[in-house]
């Protein structure tokens, strides 16, 4: 008789079939030290070059950030305040952070959550009600897809950055039907950007609102680090700005910025806000400090981009196809699960840590070697990474697999949309943590 655990065996059977000889689940759950954001980390007594976390600006270990958090811990404890925001979890620190975030974004208000995933999922789920519709990019972070599935309205998915597909779906809806378009600013697996100027035109044409999860863009893009909307000059046209503190801020939690009416509504009806404890005070204080540093230390952003350019130039010169990423994420697509073997070899033979990503975070039959440089790296670090990847490519068929997989991924991106109202494509579960 079948039971609820049968799916576990089926899952591992499918994984082994996709991955073949390169399947090694231990690569996904490598053990790292708690301080894992520095360019050089020590794992079991061995030094490694780390190019794998999302601490883009290197603020997670900044002395002023540590001091801000430590002060609250010494005065109030580690996990406090203990309570949901509508109960005992709402402190002046939370209100201060929200005020500063709203000023940073140029919006009426901001709302801070204890988790980026909760902020994104909860916002979509509660904002799209009965007889309303949400349209989600097929490659958007999984939290946006989860919100679409949980909402009481209708949900549609369009091919990645496929404006024609999106417009055809918008056109099929009554003009008076309330609509929300939900996209990432920067796509966390490939580093490409949402075409925000064109999306703004579509939102006006079809009377929709636009929600941008700019987790990977904030702090990285724009003259002032305000992310993808600033980069494109459309900040005022984005109705809801979402994001996480777990990347450029170097801390934890999430937020949504927008008009006060919408955020007051979310504050009362979103389970992701109402039914969970407030962000710990030490993390809130640290995030206030990193927001300040983000605006007063542009040299960090400049160094990040110098490192990114060095890395991408070197990889392209070495013959790798990396697409046209414009965020800080750099990825090499491979066939099957070859990325698992490549990442394992990089760590064991070359003392370099990068990330492997497999289906369902990327199209079926492909995997990627995902690299995230930070402002704390140097050009020498980037050259060391390039040299290590080239050395691995001499032992594994990376170039051949890269070419085939890159073309497959580009084709999959265009065909990833599904008909309105049906389940989102499984390749949409972008695996970058919120």
Break the chain into its structural domains and give their ranges. 36-57+297-415, 63-296
Give me the CATH topology for the region 36-57+297-415.
Answer: 3.90.1150
Burial class, 13, CB count within 10 angstroms (exposed 0-12 / middle 13-18 / buried 19+): exposed
CA distances for 53 relative to 25, 39, 56, 246, angstroms = 19, 10, 8, 10
Can you give the pLDDT at residue 114? 94
3-state secondary structure at position 7: helix
Taking alpha carbons only, the member of 14, 65, 115, 93 closest to residue 293 is 65
The HSE-up count of residue 251 (CA atoms within 13 Å, CB side) is: 31
Can you give the pLDDT at residue 434? 67
Q: Which numeric CATH code is attached to 63-296? A: 3.40.640.10
Can you give the pLDDT at residue 426? 43
Can you give the pLDDT at residue 409? 64
Can you give the pLDDT at residue 413? 59
How remote is the C-alpha of 195 from its chain's centroid? 17
Taking the C-alpha atoms of residue 396 and residue 350, their distance in angstroms, rounded to an integer, is 14
Taking the C-alpha atoms of residue 382 and residue 152, their distance in angstroms, rounded to an integer, is 47
First and final C-alpha spacing in the chain: 38
Can you give the pLDDT at residue 431? 54
Edge-first strand listing for the sheet containing 254-258: 109-113, 254-258, 240-244, 209-213, 179-184, 133-137, 154-158
What parts of the chain have a pLDDT lower than 50? 418-429
Residues 6+ apart with CB under 8 A from 146: 117, 121, 125
The HSE-up count of residue 53 (CA atoms within 13 Å, CB side) is: 29
Q: Pinpoint the alpha helices (H) of 278-377.
A: 281-296, 298-317, 338-350
């Amino acid at each position: 008789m079948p039971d609820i655990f049968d799916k576990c065996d089926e899952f591992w059977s499918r994984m082994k079939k996709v991955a073949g000889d390169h399947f090694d689940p231990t690569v996904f759950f490598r053990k790292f030290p708690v301080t894992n954001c520095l360019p050089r980390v020590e794992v079991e007594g061995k030094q490694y070059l780390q190019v794998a976390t999302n601490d883009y600006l290197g603020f997670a270990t900044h002395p002023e950030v540590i001091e801000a958090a430590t002060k609250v811990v010494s005065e109030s404890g580690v996990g406090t305040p203990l309570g949901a925001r509508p109960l005992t979890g709402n402190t002046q620190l939370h209100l201060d952070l929200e005020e500063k975030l709203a000023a940073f974004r140029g919006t009426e208000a901001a709302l801070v959550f204890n988790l980026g995933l909760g902020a994104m999922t909860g916002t979509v789920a509660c904002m799209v009600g009965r007889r309303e519709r949400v349209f989600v990019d097929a490659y958007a972070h999984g939290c946006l897809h989860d919100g679409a599935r949980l909402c009481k309205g209708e949900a549609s998915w369009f091919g990645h950055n496929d404006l024609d597909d999106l417009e055809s779906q918008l056109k099929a809806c009554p003009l008076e039907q309330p609509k929300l378009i939900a996209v990432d600013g920067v796509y966390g697996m490939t580093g490409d950007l949402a075409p925000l100027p064109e999306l703004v035109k579509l939102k006006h044409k079809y009377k929709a609102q636009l929600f941008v999860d700019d987790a990977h863009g904030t702090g990285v893009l724009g003259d002032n680090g305000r992310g993808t909307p600033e980069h494109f000059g459309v900040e005022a046209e984005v109705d809801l700005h979402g994001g996480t503190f777990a990347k450029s801020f170097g801390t934890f939690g999430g937020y949504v910025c927008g008009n006060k009416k919408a955020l007051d509504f979310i504050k009362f009806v979103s389970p992701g806000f109402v039914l969970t404890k407030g962000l710990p005070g030490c993390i809130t204080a640290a995030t206030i400090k990193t927001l300040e540093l983000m605006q007063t230390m542009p040299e960090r952003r400049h160094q990040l981009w110098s490192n990114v350019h060095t890395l991408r130039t070197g990889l392209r010169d070495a013959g790798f196809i990396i697409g046209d990423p414009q965020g800080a994420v750099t990825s090499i697509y491979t066939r099957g699960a070859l990325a698992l073997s490549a990442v394992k070899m990089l760590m064991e033979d070359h003392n370099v840590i990068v990330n492997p990503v497999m289906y369902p975070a990327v199209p079926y039959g492909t995997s990627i070697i995902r690299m995230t440089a930070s402002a704390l790296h140097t050009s020498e670090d980037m050259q060391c990474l390039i040299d290590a990847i080239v050395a691995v490519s001499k032992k594994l068929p990376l170039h051949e697999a890269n070419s085939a997989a890159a073309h497959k991924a580009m084709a999959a991106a265009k065909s990833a949309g599904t008909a309105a109202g049906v389940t989102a494509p499984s390749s949409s579960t972008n695996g970058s943590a919120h």
